[in-house]
A and B are shown apart, each in its own frame.
Chain A
């Protein structure tokens, strides 16, 4: 079962929304952004968009900032965006620079492995992020138990990671009868 329950994942082929295989500049980026936004709004039930970079030859930092990164930032906390079909080091570097400037993290998936580019987690949340990345879903209590932390402390770390766009979360019924959050990687 999908770890996010009703979470649906959809591939968003970036090339279909670009005028040419090379994307550069803010104004071109803003045009493409509007088309991407239309796609996202047309698929309101989709929570994770795997942005495919297939057939995209190049993107500069400004274009990446106005498109992929801006989209991820806009929908932070509600939807997740990650990259697939991307191996070109130059493009990775440019998207990384754009993400860092806008303080937006972004996962680049290659098979089952993900590399984090853009914003990096703080020292205080890094371990929690790595813990969540190694499993399909995570409860703060599980991390707290393994690291001998208070649940409140662990919860705070995951909340911060969710707010900053590192992880997605959904509500779940806790064994105690209350509500707890389940966190999962964007992908």
Chain B
């Protein structure tokens, strides 16, 4: 059965990506054998949506489904933009691209040369790139070099990348690659930082340990538990672990960043309030179409 995911002729961030996915019949559904992602003229995909799309397309190809990305506008539209991010460098070669795969990698050609900075990097457990957090945070500092708080921003994003990437090494248990991405836009006043993996979701690794490690939290809903992961720092390995995600949140909150976490069937979007992420400021979506893994995105509204 064919499943079509149709994107609108608009900017596609993580929220619009999810909306399009919800309107489809579910690419990971058992009876889906073929998936088409349709990008009309005027559709522009942002990096937080792009790495979820990349993870999903690779997951579907890995499960032997026929996958096609159909770019109506060709390389002059969002396809060219995705190319500049390095999207096609990481897309499974089993995925078909219409009208055709870009002939050259825009990311390799443009790297470091454009002011609207965007980049996707691969995270592979077997080829650990020790320089990756530094390279990504250096890129942010370069793009935001006119900001007075650039050093603080660089330090915060380095820690966020380091902790989230290490989390993938420690927890995700998958053969599929993960991705880290960044995008600086609106003249350096907006920043999107995202990390995705296609392994087990946080809940799948944390839930089984709750009864022994954190019995008081075992009754919480997934949403409330997820908020606590970022507020208290929880880990299946016990009370003295789990400081990484909590630390990431603390760094992001200093810049008033919102946090978007997508799990296999849920999504939580957290807006900071009074210097913290709180359950009553969480927007929750349950019963979403399956997307393997954990996908975390911070959106920094840096202001002038």
Residues of A within 8 A of B (CB): 19-20, 22, 24-28, 58, 60-63, 65, 88-90, 93-94, 97-98, 100-103
B246 — nearest CB in chain A belongs to which residue?
A97
- Given A28, A58, A62, which contacts B155 in the complex, CB threshold below 8 Å? A58
CB distance from B205 to the nearest CB of A (A): 14
- Given A20, A60, A100, which contacts B130 in the complex, CB threshold below 8 Å? A20
CB distance from A79 to the nearest CB of B (A): 20
The reply to whether A65 and B170 contact each other, CB–CB distance below 8 Å, is: no
The reply to whether A60 and B244 contact each other, CB–CB distance below 8 Å, is: yes
A27 cross-chain contacts in B, Cβ below 8 A: 166, 169-170
A104 — nearest CB in chain B belongs to which residue?
B240
Q: CB of B241 within 8 A of chain A?
A: yes
A61 cross-chain contacts in B, Cβ below 8 A: 159, 163, 243-244, 247
Question: With A and B bound together, what is the CA distance between A100 and B233 in angstroms?
Answer: 11
Count how many chain B residues have C-beta atoms less than 8 Å from C-beta atoms of the other chain: 24
Question: With A and B bound together, what is the CA distance between A25 and B156 in angstroms?
Answer: 15
Q: CB of B162 within 8 A of chain A?
A: yes
Q: CB of B77 within 8 A of chain A?
A: no
The reply to whether B159 and A101 contact each other, CB–CB distance below 8 Å, is: no
Q: CB of B193 within 8 A of chain A?
A: no
CB distance from B51 to the nearest CB of A (A): 20
Q: A24-B166, A89-B152 are in contact. List 19 more A-B contacts (CB 8 A).
A: A19-B130, A20-B130, A22-B130, A22-B158, A24-B130, A24-B165, A27-B170, A58-B134, A58-B158, A60-B162, A60-B247, A62-B162, A88-B155, A89-B155, A93-B250, A94-B159, A101-B241, A101-B243, A101-B246
Question: With A and B bound together, what is the CA distance between A114 and B244 in angstroms?
Answer: 26
The reply to whether A90 and B159 contact each other, CB–CB distance below 8 Å, is: yes
A102 cross-chain contacts in B, Cβ below 8 A: 240
A58 cross-chain contacts in B, Cβ below 8 A: 134, 155, 158-159, 162
The reply to whether A25 and B243 contact each other, CB–CB distance below 8 Å, is: no
In terms of DSSP, what is the predominant structure of the interface of chain B?
Answer: helix
B169 cross-chain contacts in A, Cβ below 8 A: 25, 27
B166 — nearest CB in chain A belongs to which residue?
A25
Question: With A and B bound together, what is the CA distance between A24 and B134 in angstroms?
Answer: 10
Per-residue interface assignment for chain B, residues 230 to 269, with 1 indicating a CB less than 8 Å from any chain A CB and 0 otherwise: 0001000000111110110010000000000000000000
A63 cross-chain contacts in B, Cβ below 8 A: 162
A19 — nearest CB in chain B belongs to which residue?
B130
CB distance from A72 to the nearest CB of B (A): 13
- Given B130, B155, B170, B246, which contacts A26 in the complex, CB threshold below 8 Å? B170
The reply to whether B240 and A101 contact each other, CB–CB distance below 8 Å, is: yes
Question: With A and B bound together, what is the CA distance between A98 and B233 in angstroms?
Answer: 11
A62 — nearest CB in chain B belongs to which residue?
B244
The reply to whether A26 and B166 contact each other, CB–CB distance below 8 Å, is: yes
CB distance from B134 to the nearest CB of A (A): 6
Q: CB of B133 within 8 A of chain A?
A: yes
Question: With A and B bound together, what is the CA distance between A26 and B165 in angstroms?
Answer: 11
A26 cross-chain contacts in B, Cβ below 8 A: 166, 170
Q: Which 5 A-B pairs have the closest CB atoms?
A: A90-B155, A25-B166, A24-B162, A60-B162, A101-B243
B165 cross-chain contacts in A, Cβ below 8 A: 24-25
The reply to whether B155 and A60 contact each other, CB–CB distance below 8 Å, is: no
Question: With A and B bound together, what is the CA distance between A25 and B163 in angstroms?
Answer: 7
CB pairs A–B below 8 angstroms (29 shown): A20-B130, A20-B131, A22-B133, A22-B158, A25-B162, A25-B166, A25-B170, A26-B166, A27-B166, A58-B158, A58-B159, A60-B158, A60-B159, A60-B162, A60-B163, A60-B166, A60-B244, A60-B247, A61-B159, A61-B163, A61-B243, A65-B240, A89-B155, A94-B159, A94-B247, A97-B246, A101-B240, A101-B242, A103-B240
Question: With A and B bound together, what is the CA distance between A27 and B152 in angstroms?
Answer: 26
Question: With A and B bound together, what is the CA distance between A77 and B250 in angstroms?
Answer: 31
Which interface residue of A22, A27, A103 has the most chain B CB atoms within 10 A? A22
- Given A22, A62, A89, which contacts B134 in the complex, CB threshold below 8 Å? A22
